[in-house]
Amino acid sequence: MAYRRTASVDARIERTREAILRAARRAVAEHGLSGVGMASVATDAGVSVGTVYRYFDHKTALLREVVDDVCSREIEVVAKLAATPTDPAERFVAAVDGFAGRAVASGRVAYAVIAEPAPAEVEATRVRHRRDLAAVFAAIIADGVAAGVFPEQDPDIAATAVVGAVSEVIVGPLAPAVRRPADVEVVLAQTIAIARRAVTGHLDPTPGGSR
Amino acid sequence: MAYRRTASVDARIERTREAILRAARRAVAEHGLSGVGMASVATDAGVSVGTVYRYFDHKTALLREVVDDVCSREIEVVAKLAATPTDPAERFVAAVDGFAGRAVASGRVAYAVIAEPAPAEVEATRVRHRRDLAAVFAAIIADGVAAGVFPEQDPDIAATAVVGAVSEVIVGPLAPAVRRPADVEVVLAQTIAIARRAVTGHLDPTPGGSR
DNA sequence: CGAAGAACTGAAGCTAGATTCATTTCTTGT
DNA sequence: ACAAGAAATGAATCTAGCTTCAGTTCTTCG
């Protein structure tokens, strides 16, 4: 016995693992899930292909972890916003704002992990997270309906529609326009206004009665 | 000179071309754009691989034509629905209903041509069509806003959101549920209701004033 | 320093699937 | 029936990208 893994090696290994994940996230951000190549991830992370395989069994395992990381973080943030003890309409707006704002800021990543189809195994993870995200919205909507401040509606369907609407606006055909920083605010404001009208039935930002 | 292409050959060639396109559409419907294989398309169309290449330069060219066909037809139908000379709210509902209803009925094709990422060249076609579709909605919305019957809003953004919301509901995580025929009506009705509230600001199907 | 055990390397192997093309089969006009 | 021109065939080729693994380098400890 002349070798035992020591703290400094552990640290390096951890750093390498992070570097690989960071490179993979960057690749996803730039080319989408399907545009990630093991070779370029390796180069980008400053290691060899073989090393990537030492840390992740398959390409799929790597992608799964990227999706898992990004989604968990996003959903957690949105869920936190949705948990504030104000009335449903405000919570809903806060959640939409959080989701949309972060999606814009994150560039293509958000799209890739929320919307882009992927190999079966990754897809499963992705769908699970997407459902979780929609569930956050659905919970708020259900509250609002129960409290009688939102019009009668199916919370799951409404939540799904909201997720779709926001994703489309952020990553869809308008995306290039959204990149112009000056327009970001406008697009976000419009998107929130639309979602609010759809779900709360209120025309104005300030809730209270019916309109 | 002992051979000149005759009408019967022309007809056969046309039939073969159609058979290939039909096979490709079927493949897209079953496995998505990325699941289309030249070999299986050939087999399915009852010709050899080489023949497929006689009719289409690349796989990409084949896919482009499939996307083109399907999208044009869909958009045309929706545009027609949107052109009826009734008031904006009714036209909007008709258009959403048409789009969503046909998307549900078409199964996976709709998803593939509306949402699925694809090689650059195909992507360009797909994005163009998606923009066209959104434009149909945007025109109605602009009319409604101009007439003062819809709340103030950016028609392009609103239209994009509507397309996203509908696509997500139809092809997203809820899709499996949508397949149960009993639920289709419910999902469609809910989707339309949400879109109506979002765009028209009216809670009720019957327009007139503000609510 | 030397041996033992890990970790790293990157060229080679493998695979799936698109694409080609020499050969064969069909069509037509004499 | 035959020659000429098209069209169809499908096995062979090519290619991109994941995956492996024999050899090399690094770490640790006696």
Matching residue, tokens 């309906």: A145
Substitution target from A99, A157, A162, A188 for chain B, most B beta carbons within 10 A? A157
Helices (H), chain A: 7-31, 38-45, 49-55, 59-82, 88-106, 108-114, 120-146, 155-171, 175-179, 181-200
> Which residues in chain A are contacts of B203 at CB distance < 8 A?
151, 201
Matching residue, tokens 């292409």: B5
D27 C1': nearest CA residue: A3
Rg, C-alpha atoms of chain B: 20
Q: What is the pLDDT at residue A155?
A: 95
Task: Tell me A33's DSSP state.
Answer: G
> Which residues in chain B are contacts of A195 at CB distance < 8 A?
161, 198
CA distance to A10, B26, B39, B57, B61, per residue, from A112 (Å): 31, 26, 30, 30, 25
Q: Output the average pLDDT for chain B.
A: 89
Substitution target from A168, A192, A210 for chain B, most B beta carbons within 10 A? A168
Distance CA A28, CA A108 (A): 8
Chain B nearest C-alpha distance from A62 (Å): 21
Distance CA B180, CA B46 (A): 33
Distance CA B207, CA B86 (A): 12
Distance CA B68, CA B113 (A): 9
Statement: the CB of B9 is under 7 Å from strand C: yes
The dihedral over CA atoms of A141, A145, A148, A152, expressed in degrees to the nearest 10, equals 130
Least confident among A97-106, B119-128, B200-209? B200-209
**In the 4-63 stretch of chain A, whose C-beta falls under 7 Å of nucleic acid strand C?**
5, 9, 12-13, 16, 47-51, 53-55
Residue B58: how many other CB atoms lie within 10 Å: 12
Share of chain A above pLDDT 70, in %: 91
Q: Do B195 and A164 touch (CB under 8 A)?
A: no
The mean per-residue pLDDT over the stretch B76-91 comes to: 91
Residue B168: how many other CB atoms lie within 10 Å: 29
Residue A135 buriedness (CB in 10 A; 0-12 / 13-18 / 19+) = middle
Binned at pLDDT 50, 70 and 90, residue B78 comes out as very high
Statement: the CB of B59 is under 7 Å from strand C: yes
The mean per-residue pLDDT over the stretch A1-12 comes to: 88
Nearest C-alpha neighbor of A70 from the set A19, A7, A15, A26: A26
Binned at pLDDT 50, 70 and 90, residue A210 comes out as very low
Statement: the CB of A120 is under 7 Å from strand C: no
Q: Do A187 and B157 touch (CB under 8 A)?
A: yes
Please report the number of interchain residue pairs, chain A to chain B, with beta-carbon separation below 8 angstroms.
122
The model's pLDDT over A143-188, given as tens digits with 9 standing for 90+, comes to: 999 999 999 999 999 999 999 999 888 876 666 555 666 788 889 9
Q: How far is CA A38 from the centre of its chain?
A: 23
Least confident among A39-53, A71-85, B57-71, B143-157? A71-85
Chain A nearest C-alpha distance from B49 (Å): 26
Residues 6+ apart with CB under 8 A from A124: none
